[in-house]
């Protein structure tokens, strides 16, 4: 790769760091020939459950040049969200750590737009698009190719220096850059995530049956939660962190520096009673800018009711 491409890559990584991204890796924009048959098999097994959107735009999902004509590079970035204080308390309801503060889509997308603007100011007009979990992009595959980690047995990207509590974002641009090398798999013989999943969602190492995941039931599924998973949610009412919490690599997780991810004082004090008696007014006030709003109050109440009946049954 020539010196100009290397200089451009160095500039992008420096600017990404200044905007708060912990890691930045770059890979060549090309068809994901290794991932395509795996994704096809995953869909054929119906592991997407009711997430029909995952069946759409298969060609674009595998080929970034269909999302950005003339694309040369995929820039992958990691943004830490590991909280300073874990809100999980014994006997209380739990929400995934990523939802403690403001919705990451807004926070990270703003950073990406700034990064794209800075690249254009420095290098000139380029064609590119920024993505934060909002388009048919194989984010973990690109991050792996960019050397930011490996895909673990729980199907999440794992990084040796910070575990997995981070958001992945991408920029697909028509600028040739210096490409990073993929890293090896460091999961070894560990099966902590597989052993800990209460709904047996990890069908086999590196393959998650999305239709059995607690996050799927509490966020993606819009209908009634099936009775066969009663008693298995361990008080999770929005998302689930079990396979991350038990992962040894998350011993290296460290608190984020993003003020907008800090939970509000009201949420910090939420008790079971607060959750069970939540009104639309409280929901809007506490979760108006949060990812939790995705379930709407009706969905959250469904989850709380389901988990509440769990504890009553087990008690």
Question: Would you name the residues annotated as active-site residues?
Answer: 133
Angle of helix 3-18 relative to helix 104-123, nearest 10 degrees? 140
| Token pair listed for 143 | 């991050």
Residue 173: phi and psi, rounded to 5, are -135, 155
Contact (CB, 8 A) for 83 and 240: no
The upper half-sphere exposure of residue 163, i.e. CA atoms within 13 Å in the direction of its Cβ, equals 21
DSSP H helix total and E strand total for the chain: 12, 10
DSSP 98: G
Closest by CA position to 186, among listed 155, 151, 156, 138: 151
277 Cβ contact list (under 8 Å, min separation 6): none
Q: How far from the centroid of its chain's Cα atoms is residue 172's Cα?
A: 18
DSSP 159: B
Q: How far apart are CA 85 and CA 262, in angstroms?
A: 9
Name all contacts of 311-315 with Cβ < 8 Å and 24+ positions apart: 311/235, 313/230, 313/231, 314/231
Closest by CA position to 107, among listed 287, 260, 290: 260
Neighbours of 231 (CB within 10 A): 14
Q: How far apart are CA 194 and CA 51, in angstroms?
A: 22
Closest by CA position to 170, among listed 81, 109, 82: 109
């Amino acid at each position: 790769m020539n010196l100009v491409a290397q200089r451009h890559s160095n500039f992008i990584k420096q600017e990404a760091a200044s905007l708060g991204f912990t890691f930045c890796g770059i890979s060549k924009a090309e068809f994901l020939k290794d991932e395509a048959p795996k994704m096809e098999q995953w869909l054929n097994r119906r592991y997407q459950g009711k997430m029909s959107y995952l069946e759409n735009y298969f060609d674009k999902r595998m080929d970034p040049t269909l999302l950005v004509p003339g694309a040369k590079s995929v820039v992958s970035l990691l943004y830490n969200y590991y909280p300073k204080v874990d809100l999980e308390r014994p006997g209380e309801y739990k929400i995934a750590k990523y939802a403690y503060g403001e919705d990451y889509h807004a926070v990270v997308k703003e950073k990406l737009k700034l990064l794209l603007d800075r690249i254009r100011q420095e290098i000139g007009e380029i064609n590119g698009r920024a993505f934060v979990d909002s388009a048919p992009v194989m984010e973990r595959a690109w991050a792996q190719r960019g050397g930011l980690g490996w895909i673990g047995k729980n199907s999440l990207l794992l990084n040796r220096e910070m575990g997995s509590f981070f958001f992945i974002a991408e920029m697909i641009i028509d600028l040739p850059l210096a490409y990073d090398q993929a890293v090896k798999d460091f999961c070894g013989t560990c099966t902590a995530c597989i052993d800990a999943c209460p709904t047996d969602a990890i069908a086999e190492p590196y393959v998650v049956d999305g239709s059995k995941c607690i996050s799927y039931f509490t966020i993606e599924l819009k209908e009634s939660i099936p009775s066969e998973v009663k008693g298995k949610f361990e008080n999770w009412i929005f998302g689930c962190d079990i396979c991350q919490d038990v992962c040894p690599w998350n011993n290296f997780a460290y608190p984020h520096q993003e003020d907008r991810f800090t939970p509000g004082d009201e949420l910090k004090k939420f008790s079971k009673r607060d959750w069970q008696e939540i009104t639309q007014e409280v929901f809007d006030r506490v979760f108006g800018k949060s990812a939790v709003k995705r379930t709407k109050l009706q969905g959250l109440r469904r989850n709380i009711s389901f988990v509440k009946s769990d504890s009553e049954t087990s008690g």
